[in-house]
Structure 1
Amino acid sequence: MLTVPTASFLLLSALCPPVHVFGARETTAPPGFGSAGPVVDMVLSSVPGSTSEVINYPACGGQASCGGVSYAQSVIDGVNAVASQVNTFNTECPSTVLVLIGYSQGGQIFDDGFCGGGDTNEGLTSTAIPISTAAQSKVAAAIFFGDPRRIPGESFNVGTCEASGFAPRPAGFQCPFASRVQSFCDAPDPFCCNGDDQAVHEGYAAEYGSQALSFILNQLSAFGA
């Protein structure tokens, strides 16, 4: 086991940002933040010294354009990536406050990673929260845009959808960190709801970006960041 000298640890801590934003893209989007990018940028512009990090996962649904990885395997890989990257960063910078912003499949992997409960739709059988207890305590805000896990009646739901997404949570499921979450979805969306207008699914950053930013900033203030 590597032991970090106290002086070195203090130096590393001094280099840590006050706020770090993790972003996860939607299915088949090229590597990067995808449609979550504009909101990630809004946070970075609003919070001096903040930094960001892309969740590295396939973001695939079986298409050749993203490597042919099945949607289920992509979600499992994504949840594992969320746990690995968030936990590693928290270990290195334990005082940094964290923000999660995911779009579509990216929202699903953050939902599974932060709220736990498993994801039998995709073969994720463990119901444990894969983000560590220490990291959980530092997540001030989690934003899910077009999350396929959406179900009606959750306290953090925002938008006009009153139905479930295509990979819904079990009825009655409650995220233990509901007060730190906002999930955006409108009724015409075919992925987080039961509509038939894909353009709605692609428009959340423009429609709700300012509202999401306001929520994030309020949460950061509550966390002293």
Structure 2
Amino acid sequence: MRQTRPRLFTARLRRTALTTGLAVATLAAATAVATPAHAVSSTLTCPGVIVIGVRGTNEAAGSGGGTYHYASGGFGGRLNLTSSVVTETSRTARRIALKYPATAIAPIYPISQQQGTVNLKNLVTSLGTTCSSATRFVLIGYSQGAHVIGDALASDSANRIAATYRSRIAAVVFFGDPTYRKGEPYNAGGAPNTGTWPKGAGVLSEFNSRLRSYCYTGDKWCQNAADPTDVHGTKYQTSAVQTAAKNFILSKL
């Protein structure tokens, strides 16, 4: 009897530990099911949303884009919301930085900008072909990056993305677009003038409800102004502008 009781006691401890462990595991599983699984970025080739960022002239490059593009990628310093959109959307999402020169010289701006437009068209076409229509796109560009996107979407562009893929673009955001035209319904920021190289009126009307073009008074490029306080270089990375743009995008997803 002296040996039996310790054995029974040990067996009870083991059963208690097993029961406790199962309870903890069950609680953890229940918690995992209750936690939304959407608030994380996806490494899938074809998630629900692909956010493409196009940096501005001379912004720092980094990793991003794909092997089928020219020059370097990177999001620069004004496209932080690409990350916020990916983590805050209710859908699976990933972000890609377009690879293109993003320079004003070597190569000069027109060559760099055109290369960016061609690269963007090729990128969206490639991803659109690879992924089903369930995958939507978001395009965000700052300065030259906005110019690049605009030329890939405009009705008068020779490098326009095909209609079948344009229809899958859920939202577009421009910051400090040098081709800004006053009076367009998608404009935001209250800037009163046109930009350095204003686009034709209505060439982006297909995107009136899906586009926001942020431009502010005094901006050197989207207002063709002197800009002594560097509105173009500082305004678009402020939390107010980034949050407004992010919320617009999320409302379209």
Output the TM-score relative to the length of structure 1.
0.81
Aligned residue for 1:91, secondary structure, equals helix
- Equivalent runs, 1:1-225 vs 2, <5 Å: 16-31=46-61, 32-47=74-89, 48-62=91-105, 68-94=106-132, 95-118=134-157, 126=158, 130-171=160-201, 173-197=203-227, 199-202=230-233, 203-206=235-238, 207-220=240-253
Whichever residue aligns with residue 236 of structure 2, its letter is Y
Summarize the Cα distance change of 1:138–1:36 in structure 2 as closer, same or farther, 3 Å threshold: farther
Radius of gyration: which is bigger? 2
Deviations 1:110-147 (A, max 9, x none): 011122323xxxxxxx2xx6212221111000000000
- Report how many aligned residue pairs link the two structures: 193
* CA distance, structure 2, for counterparts of residue 113 and residue 76 of structure 1: 9
**Most deviating of 33-42 and 152-161:** 33-42
* Letter of the 1:105 counterpart: Q
Structure 1 unaligned regions, length at least 5: 1-13, 63-67, 119-125, 221-225
- Matched-pair identity in %: 33
Describe the SS at the equivalent of 1:143: strand
Letter in 1 for 2:76: G
Runs of 4+ in 1 over 3 A off after TM superposition: 171-174
Q: Which moved more, 1:103-112 or 1:193-202?
A: 193-202
Unaligned runs of 5+ in 2: 1-43, 62-73
Give the counterpart letter for 1:205 in structure 2: Q
More divergent stretch after superposition (163-172 vs 77-86): 163-172
CA contact (8 A) 1:23 1:36 kept: no
Give the match's secondary structure for 1:37: coil
CA–CA separation in structure 1 for the residues paired with 2:97 and 2:45: 19
String of CA shifts for 1:47-74, please: whole Å, max 9, x gaps: 2531011111110101xxxxx1010001
CA distance in 1 between counterparts of 2:245 and 2:202 reads: 25
**One-letter amino acid of the counterpart of residue 38, structure 1:** N
Does the 8 A contact of 2:142 with 2:177 survive in 1?
yes
